[in-house]
Structure 1
Amino acid sequence: MSTPHEEFDLPGTDLARAAYRLAEESEEAYLFNHSVRTYLFARGIGHDQGLRPDEDYDDELLFLGCVLHDLGLTEDGEGGQRFEVAGADAAARFLRGHGVAEDRVEVVWDAIALHTSPGIAGRKRPEIALVHLGSGADVLGLSVDRLPASLVHAARRRLPRLDLTEAITAAIVEDAKADPRKAPPLTFPSLLVAEYAPEHAGPTWRQLTATPDPVG
């Protein structure tokens, strides 16, 4: 049976393969499959936009941003930050440990930290914007109609969704319940906590702003 690298022509550099192994070894199957599908869908959306790999964007950086974008939901992402930032920090540690130049580390960090930030990630360079779009396509179905149906079917067959929606929601919420610092007010994790575990919800906007005016 072919591997995902062979079937989908994933980047084959030593660094890309090391990142793939890190995600495969540290993430549960539902999360690892999502991470790889995110790349496939990101690359497909880029093609739909007329973007050419390694001409209009760095394909290795896109792959690294996609395959590592949910490290914040693994043990590598511990540290009291929301999962997007924890994952970006974990990816940066991994890349620096492999001698990656700091300007390339910064692109991957931004791509991961901003992948749940609509209206921001899309305004950044293609590698960052496409991680956001690929993740949104896989989790929410956004822009899936811009992808070839054959790609979507092949990705979901080889890398099944399993219980992605329920499992990733539970992982984010449980992280925040164990450490409230992982769901700071007005963030995506805090939105999930307010909906799925309201007894653990942090302060609302009204509560945050209900403070005396500073003395002038």
Structure 2
Amino acid sequence: MSSDSPFPKLPKSGISLPDTPLVRDALEHIKKFTSPTTVNHCIRSAYFAVLLSRQISRSSTDPLDVELVVFSTIMHDLGWATDKTLLSKDKRFEVDGADMARNYLEKDKLAEGWNKHRIQLMWDAIALHATPSFALHKEPEVLLAHIGIMADFWGPNFPGFPITIEENQEIVEAFPRLGFKEQFLDIMCGLCALKPETTYDNFVGDYGVEYGLDGKGTGKEEFTRKRTALSSPHIFYPAIGAYEQKEG
């Protein structure tokens, strides 16, 4: 690793990120399209993923694809792009991020070694990063991307994946949080306002119900009403009854 690397080796925990041209380019890419707070969150997530890779038991003899894990975690929040014209109107932010990262790989000459399977794993790692009921049961690279990202929310309190106070502090000092808690709420509520239909069936909608469309309660009653009306018990379950009645 060169002395001018954007990914310093952390001496206390002894971890570093693969300083490959592709990973460097990925970092420059997210700097163009996301906020400095988001950039630091993505880098911290990559460090946490590498740190926690020591705790993952693997039955497979295949070596862990660390570059894939780090690339995925660094690119995982492209769906939080500050330029909203880059985002879809009908996809969850995780899918936006996965699609944007895949498009990037398909155009980048540095990704020549990325075959279809490797790109699909990357897409899964980003698209499923906020859905533990899927990600925890996928390939090690997908699992590690998920827990690395979640570790940046939980820190030493991460259930099931011990992180010491010293390890957490070292990563956060290298890449400060820069008001991450406040910006996260703004982003979640902003998604509820920008494309609410993509939030009704997942955790993002919980923020609209609790905090409204601006983080201060504005519009939360109307948002909650629409979300409830489009929930599974009000749409999917009645559809079963209507179908069975027609068949009968």
Please indicate the TM-score interval, normalised by the length of the shorter structure: 0.7 to 0.9
Asked if the contact 1:137/1:144 (under 8 Å) is kept, the reply is no
For residues 91-116 of structure 1, what are the alpha-carbon distances to aligned partners after superposition, in whole Å with 9 as ceiling and x for unaligned? 10111111442221111100000011
Taking structure 2 as the reference length, the TM-score comes to 0.77
Q: Show the counterpart of 1:167.
A: 183
Q: CA separation in 1, counterparts of 2:96 and 2:181?
A: 20
Q: Show the counterpart of 1:147.
A: 163
Q: CA separation in 2, counterparts of 1:160 and 1:210?
A: 49
SS at match of 2:7: helix
Q: CA separation in 2, counterparts of 1:6 and 1:138?
A: 18
Q: Show the counterpart of 1:113.
A: 127
- Pick from 211, 216, 227: which aligns with 1:196? 211
Asked if the contact 1:73/1:83 (under 8 Å) is kept, the reply is yes
For residues 143-176 of structure 1, what are the alpha-carbon distances to aligned partners after superposition, in whole Å with 9 as ceiling and x for unaligned? 4862243331121112111221221122122123
Q: Show the counterpart of 2:150.
A: 136
Q: CA separation in 2, counterparts of 1:88 and 1:114?
A: 9
Asked if the contact 2:5/2:19 (under 8 Å) is kept, the reply is no
For residues 47-75 of structure 1, what are the alpha-carbon distances to aligned partners after superposition, in whole Å with 9 as ceiling and x for unaligned? 12357xx9631010000110011111103
Q: Alpha-carbon deviation of 1:3?
A: 5.1
Q: Show the counterpart of 1:87.
A: 97
Percent of pairs with identical residues: 26
Asked if the contact 1:4/1:10 (under 8 Å) is kept, the reply is no
Asked if the contact 2:79/2:93 (under 8 Å) is kept, the reply is yes
Counterpart mapping for 1:39-118 below 5 A: 39-49=46-56, 56-74=63-81, 75=83, 78-80=87-89, 81-98=91-108, 99=112, 100-118=114-132
Q: Which has the higher contact order (CA 8 A, sep 6+)?
A: 1
Counterpart residue identity of residue 96, structure 1: E
- Pick from 201, 215, 221: which aligns with 1:186? 201
Asked if the contact 2:17/2:50 (under 8 Å) is kept, the reply is no
RMSD between aligned alpha carbons?
2.4
Q: Alpha-carbon deviation of 1:13?
A: 1.3
Structure 2 unmatched runs, 5+: 11-15, 213-219
Counterpart residue identity of residue 91, structure 1: A
Q: Could you say if the C-alpha distance between residues 143 and 25 of structure 1 is closer, same or farther in structure 2, counting changes exceeding 3 Å?
A: farther
Q: Show the counterpart of 2:242.
A: 213
Q: CA separation in 2, counterparts of 1:195 and 1:206?
A: 20
Q: Show the counterpart of 2:217.
A: none
Q: Show the counterpart of 2:215.
A: none
Asked if the contact 2:52/2:161 (under 8 Å) is kept, the reply is no
Asked if the contact 1:123/1:129 (under 8 Å) is kept, the reply is yes
Structure 1 unmatched runs, 5+: none
2:61 pairs with 1:37 = no
Larger mean Cα displacement after TM superposition, 31-40 or 173-182? 173-182
Taking structure 1 as the reference length, the TM-score comes to 0.88
Which of the pair has more CA radius of gyration? 2
Q: Could you say if the C-alpha distance between residues 2 and 146 of structure 1 is closer, same or farther in structure 2, counting changes exceeding 3 Å?
A: farther
